[in-house]
Chain A
Amino acid sequence: MEKENKTISQKVEDFLHVFKKGEEFTQELLKENEKLRYRVLQLEETTKFSGPDRYAKLNAIEERMRFLEEQNKELLERYRQVEEENKDFAGRYIEVESENNNLANLYVASYQLHSTLDFSESLKIILEIVMNLIGAEAFSIMLLDEKTNELTIVAQEGMEPEPRTGIRLGAGNIGDAVKNGTAYYREGTPTDTKGVDYTHPLVCIPLKIKEHVIGAIVVYKLLIQKESYTDVDYELFSMLAGHAATALFSSRLYSQSERKLTTIQSFLDLLKQGNDGQQQAACR
């Protein structure tokens, strides 16, 4: 009996042991199951497009990429165009600024030229324009005496020693330019000149009222800082050819008429005085 009991307890213990092992195994299986589920989820996530619609999805992505690349190209092209436009605007702005400055110079010069009817004042203004706006160091204003056909200096700046005055019409570069009524520009860079050569000026601008030449502006030397002529210099020369001529002509005419008026007035006063004297003598 006792032996039988022992066998039973032994069997129970064995069963319990097996049961415990079974429990542990089940626990392990559950853990493994959990791990596998997690792994499956991970794989599902990574192989999302591995299903039957994989190619469709890839195609959609490629399409999207192509679209974005196209858009990128378009944006780059637009950017390039805007850059070009910017450069164009910057260039245009500089051009407009330069044009503005040129116009300002021309406006000031012509305004000043016609601001007076005094002959010497007109000469002074022309000298200032040629010196300050063009940048000439040695130059002269010559007027043509139509009776003798000779050009004489009426104003000059920076000319030492003074050149002989009186140039015959048609003689040399100056006389020739005045006779033909066309501006003369010496070839080469204007700063090539070391000294002043009165027979070979840098520039000779005939002063013309329509086709009638009344004189010339002759430049012999430019200021040391003036390296070359600018666009506005040619514009100023061209403007001076006409406006300086009319300014000098009208101011000279005005001065002459003023002088004549004074002479006539004096003559009339004398006549009046003489007349009064005769009347007084007759009364006596």
Chain B
Amino acid sequence: MLKKVLVVDDSNLIHQMYKMVLMRYRCAVVHAQNGQEGMDKLAQNPDVNVVFVDINMPVMNGLDFVKKVKETGGYDHIPIVIVSTEGKDEDAERGLALGASGYVKKPFQPSELHALIDSLCPANG
């Protein structure tokens, strides 16, 4: 089954990286440059299986995005993964407290993403 992944990150480099890594894992990737655009993309793509969101972004950061998604309702079933760059555990913990389902630290290995996707949205789920 083709899985749909929403990537919210302000870096084009990271978008392309996700695309390369996840396409090989039979995933369709939808991109957003910030949290606000992420909300719009989520509304346009309610069949998204998992969201990867960076913390530091302009307009709306990753933590605010998680908060907004949880407040909005209707997307509770979609797991959100926080992508942290600085290696600060506090950011990831704040994200988890807000309702994120997991976190990954940059630079990540493709296998880490695959494992997260598998665990958060199993094929028969």
- A interface vs B, CB < 8 Å? 97, 100-101, 104-105, 107-109, 111-112, 115, 125, 128-129, 131-135, 137, 223-226
> Chain B: which residue is nearest A94 at the CB level?
B111
Q: Is the CB of A132 within 8 A of B85?
A: yes
- Report the separation of the CA atoms of residues A125 and B86 in the bound assembly, to the nearest whole angstrom: 18
For this complex, 27 residue pairs linking A to B, each with C-beta atoms less than 8 Å apart, are A97-B111, A100-B24, A101-B21, A101-B109, A104-B21, A104-B110, A107-B20, A108-B13, A112-B12, A112-B16, A115-B12, A125-B13, A128-B11, A128-B14, A129-B13, A131-B85, A131-B106, A132-B11, A132-B17, A133-B13, A133-B107, A223-B105, A223-B106, A224-B86, A225-B105, A226-B87, A226-B107
Q: How far is the CB of B24 from chain A (nearest CB, A)?
A: 7
With A224-B87, A225-B87 in contact, do A132 and B20 touch (Cβ < 8 Å)?
A: no
Name B's A-contacting residues (CB within 8 A): 11-14, 16-17, 20-21, 24, 85-87, 105-107, 109-111
Nearest chain B CB to A246 CB, angstrom units: 17
- Given contacts A137-B86, A223-B86, is CB(A132)–CB(B105) below 8 Å? no
Rounded to whole angstroms, the CA-CA distance of A225 and B88 in the bound complex is 9
* Contacts beyond the supplied A105-B17, A112-B16, A125-B13: 17 A-B pairs with Cβ under 8 Å: A97-B110, A97-B111, A100-B24, A101-B109, A101-B110, A104-B20, A107-B20, A108-B20, A109-B13, A111-B16, A112-B13, A131-B85, A131-B106, A132-B14, A133-B17, A135-B107, A223-B107
Expressed in whole angstroms, the Cα–Cα distance for A221 and B33 within the complex equals 28
Which residues of the other chain, B, contact A107 by a CB distance below 8 angstroms? 20
What are the residues of chain B within 8 A of A224 when measuring CB–CB? 86-87
| Chain A residues with CB below 8 A from B14, complex form | 128, 132
CA distance in complex: A271, B106 (Å): 56
* B20 engages A223 (CB within 8 Å): no
Which residues of the other chain, B, contact A135 by a CB distance below 8 angstroms?
106-107
